[in-house]
Structure formats: C-alpha cells, structure tokens
Amino acid sequence: MTEELILANATLVLSNETRRGSIRIVDGTIIDIADGGTVPEGARDCEGDFVTPGLVELHTDNLERHIQPRPKVDWPHAAAIIAHDAELAGTGITTVFDAMRVGSIPSGRARYSKYARNLASELLELRAADALKISHFLHLRAEVCSETLVDEIAEFGGDDRVGIVSLMDHTPGQRQFRDINKLEAYVRGKHAMSEEDFVQHVAQLKGLRAQYGDLHEVETVKAAQRYGAVLASHDDTTAEQVATSAAHGIELAEFPTTVEAAQACHEHGIQIMMGAPNLIRGGSHSGNVAARELAELDLLDIISSDYVPSALLLSAVKVGELWGDMARGIRTATLAPAQAVGLSDRGELRIGARADVLRFRMRAGVPALRAVWSRGQHIA
C-alpha cells in the first residue's frame, strides 16, 4: 500500500537556500518539491515552520553513556541501544555513526576492558530485527595508546557497517591535552585517582605509545581500507601532525585543536569537524581552539553533537545565524557529513532522496522540534 505525506506551507531548507514551499513523500522517498505557501487537500500545514533534512551524526559518545550510565555500572545492552536510538530520534538525528572504542588496557591503575565487538553485534541484530528508529553505522575509535588494538580491530569486517575509523592518540602532553594540568584535572576527577596514581597513569600511556604506537597506526590504516571506511584523525594540533594524517589517507579531521592545524587540514583537502558543545558554550572544555573562531575563519565544515545529542540542531542553527545563511548552517549537520562518509542518498531535500526530514520552529532563540521522519515514517 502506497504511503504518502505532503508537508506544505513550510520554510524549506534546501542545499543552498531557504524558500517557502512543500515536499511530497511517497514510500520513504521525496518525489516532488514545489514552491509557494498553498496547502493542498490532505497535506500537512507546516505554518511556515522550517523543514530540513534529517541530521547526520558522525561522532557521538552517547551510546557509551547509555551502556555505562555511572562508573562501574553496566546497563543491559539491548535496552541501552534502544534508549539511545530513541533519544537521537527525538533530537532530529536520523543517521548516526555510533562511536565505539577498540583497543583496551587490561593492566594498570586506569585499566579498561574490550566491549566493542559484542556491543556492535547486539546493535546490528536489533537493526536486522527492525527494532531501531534511525539508521546506524559504526565509528571505531582506535586507541593508539592501548595494549590490544590489533586483536580488537581484527574482530570487525566488511559486513559490520563500519563507516568511520578514527586514529585516537591520547599520549599525555599532546593533542587534546597538551596542558598536563588540564589532563590531570580531567582524569583524576573522572577516575578518582590519587596524585601518585596519575603519575603512574601518564607513564603507562607514554610507554604504550612508545611500544605500540607505530604498529597501531599502521594496522588501523589497513583496517579502514579493509572495511571500506573513511579514515579520520583526532585532535590534530600542528601542521606536522596534519601532514602525517594526509599521508595516511585521512579524509576527516575530528576536533583539530588549533587554527594552525585547521588551516593545514584545508590545505590538504581534509574536512574539519568540530563539536556542537564547543560552539554553543563558546569554547573548548579542554582549552583548545573555539569552534566559533574556526567558523569565522571559514575553517568549519561539519558539526558533531559529541556528548550532547540535542546540541546538533541548535549548533547548526547558531552557525547559520553567524554566517547569515541558514542553509549553509544546516548543511554542516546534514549534507556535509553525509558527503564526507559517502552517503549519497540523504542529507538534503531533493527529488529522489531518502525522506529523512525534520520540522521545527524557533522559540526563545532555539529550534523547537515539531516532528521527525525517517524514510517517511514519523518517529518523533
């Protein structure tokens, strides 16, 4: 049976402009876009609300938060995945690349164990059972400073929907935490470490980097090629680090920490992604470059919700206001991320595109979602 939905009298946010019009959706696909504010019989009157593509999220820690809502508390995975999926749907995210760590440290003060393979299998099983509202892919975060990365990353293959693999180098004193004092405040607060424990932790990570770092980088690059996934860097700080990223074939830079690194990324044709919380708060919680500064320098391509799912739509609107171009702002959370990972069927309102669609209106300076559709189905 044919399912049809017409969203009329809307402010359509197209790839390069906004205009009053309507879209017609049949069986999960956009089949027509028309201009004007008329409301045909049977259509839904959007009363001038914004209608945009569904948001595409490339990097979020949200699933990890659901499976471990408190330190040392492990939540049932199926329940966590379904709750995470529903939360993202409710914020307008219709495609997500769920970040999962590969590479563990089973020894030492701040030890942690593997989890990604089992969690990914459960997520893919729920997807196959049509238990999820939105589209899920995997983003494997390869921890260079670990003991087990090679074995863990080998557990994944081409059928696992791995869309992104990111090189994560958390060697103390560089990248995200060049300032050891900020690293100490973060780690000791999170893990309740003593000063002596922290000193041992830093020494352990530096030792792991020296022992395994080069091997782990090589094996991660190979794995991304094997999966057919986009390779990403994380927290590039210097032009030299960006040059190394480019040599690896990296196409996406997650959260560069300096203007120098961001400029080098653009010179190498590497897309720059920054965090929505950074943009909304006006700065990085780690003391690194502000996303707004990069936006003002035209060095911002993609926005990620990072650790606050509801921040993605708000930040896209905010950067659109900053640029004086709502279509361009919304593009940072829709078409730009979709193109960065090779998803050509979504991310824009166009005839033939997958009907992942949002409706929102502005209230008190923030976007208030009215409805979310995934493949034409109302999900929030």
Q: Which residue has the higher pLDDT, 1 or 103?
A: 103
Confidence of residue 102 (pLDDT cuts 50, 70, 90): very high
φ/ψ (deg, to 5) at 302: -135, 145
- Number of helices and strands (H, E) in the chain? 13, 16
Average pLDDT over residues 131-140: 98
| Architecture of the domain defined by 1-54+346-380 | Roll (2.30)
Query: For strand 377-378 and strand 357-363, is the pairing parallel, antiparallel, or unpaired?
Result: unpaired
Model confidence at 45: pLDDT above 90: yes
Section 165-191 average pLDDT: 63
Q: Residue 98: its pLDDT value, please?
A: 98
pLDDT one-digit tens code per residue, 253-263 = 999 999 999 99
Task: Calculate the CA dihedral of residues 18, 369, 302, 146 and round it to 10 degrees.
Answer: -170
Residue 335's H or E segment, with its range, is helix 335-340
How many whole angstroms separate alpha carbon 29 and alpha carbon 354? Answer: 5
Instruction: Show the CA angle centred on residue 164, arms to residues 161 and 165, nearest 5°.
Output: 115
Average pLDDT over residues 97-103: 95
- CA 373/CA 359 separation, integer angstroms: 9
DSSP 191: H
Q: Is the pLDDT of residue 197 over 80?
A: no
Give the contacts of 248 (CB within 8 A, at least 6 positions apart).
Answer: 167, 217, 221, 231, 233
pLDDT band for 171, please (50, 70, 90 cuts). Answer: low
DSSP element (H, E) containing 23:
strand 18-26
1-54+346-380 and 55-343 share one fold: no
- Whole-number Cα distances in Å, 316 to 86, 275, 302: 21, 11, 9
Q: 105-130, pLDDT tens digit by residue?
A: 877 665 678 999 999 999 999 999 99
CATH superfamily of 55-343: Metal-dependent hydrolases (3.20.20.140)
How sure is the predictor about 201, in pLDDT bands with cuts at 50, 70 and 90? low
Strands (E), 68-189: 93-102, 135-143, 162-168
How far is 136 from 119, CA to CA, in rounded Å?
A: 13
Evaluate if residue 189 carries a pLDDT over 70.
Answer: no
Instruction: With cut-offs at 50, 70 and 90, classify the pLDDT of residue 186.
Output: low
Domain boundaries, the chain: 1-54+346-380, 55-343
Confidence of residue 185 (pLDDT cuts 50, 70, 90): low
pLDDT, tens only, 334-372: 999 999 999 999 999 999 999 999 999 999 999 999 999
Half-sphere exposure of 94 toward its Cβ, with a 13 Å CA cutoff?
A: 30
Q: Which residues pair with 360 in a beta bridge?
A: 50, 369
pLDDT per residue over 282-335, tens digit each? 988 667 899 999 999 999 999 999 999 999 999 999 999 999 999 999 999 999
State residue 113's pLDDT score: 83
- Rounded percentage of the chain residues whose pLDDT exceeds 90: 79
Secondary-structure percent of the chain, ordered helix, strand, coil, rounded to 5: 35, 25, 35
Phi and psi at 328, nearest 5°, equal -65, -40
Q: Please determine, for residue 246, whether its predicted confidence score (pLDDT) is greater than 90.
A: yes
Residue range 19-47: mean pLDDT, rounded: 97
d(CA 216, CA 140): 13
Can you give the pLDDT at residue 312?
A: 98
